[in-house]
Structure 1
Amino acid sequence: MGDGTFTTNEIAGAIDFVRALDAARGGLLACPVSRLQVRFRLGYRRACALAGRLEELDVWEIVVTPSGMRGARLK
């Protein structure tokens, strides 16, 4: 699979993971790409591609806080 190609199961697993984090924390999720890397054992580029795919699917919105931290606002 290429950098931006994910199976339906991979996408569903990522969505379930993000929703579980939202239920546990609520609000802004810090370091979303790093969380995907660790949970799914992905390299940085592939985790970025998955984060972008989740944004396209309207699961979350990647934001930068005023302090410069990257986060994800869950939808």
Structure 2
Amino acid sequence: MSVETMRELQAYGYFVLLIAMVVLLYGYWFHLKKSEKTGRRDYEKYSNLALRDDLRDDVLETVSTSNAKGSVEK
């Protein structure tokens, strides 16, 4: 295989990887917006987590461990 062919394959691979990463990024962004709009999660309170990280601060989410099988429910 010549060097030119290898460079061409590398360029095609880079382009395909770039397109796949853009699709994944926008898919994740739409997922976050949809879950925030439906009320499943409020990501704004998670964004303040770095600013308010004292031990005396309020807990963001409570976790119930009273399941009979031992799994954790949210």
Q: Structures share a fold, TM > 0.5? A: no
Q: Is the radius of gyration larger for structure 1 or structure 2?
A: 2
Query: Larger strand proportion, structure 1 or 2?
Result: 1
Please give the range of the TM-score, normalised by the shorter of the 2 chains: 0.3 to 0.5
By relative contact order (CA 8 Å, sep 6+), the higher-ranking structure is 1
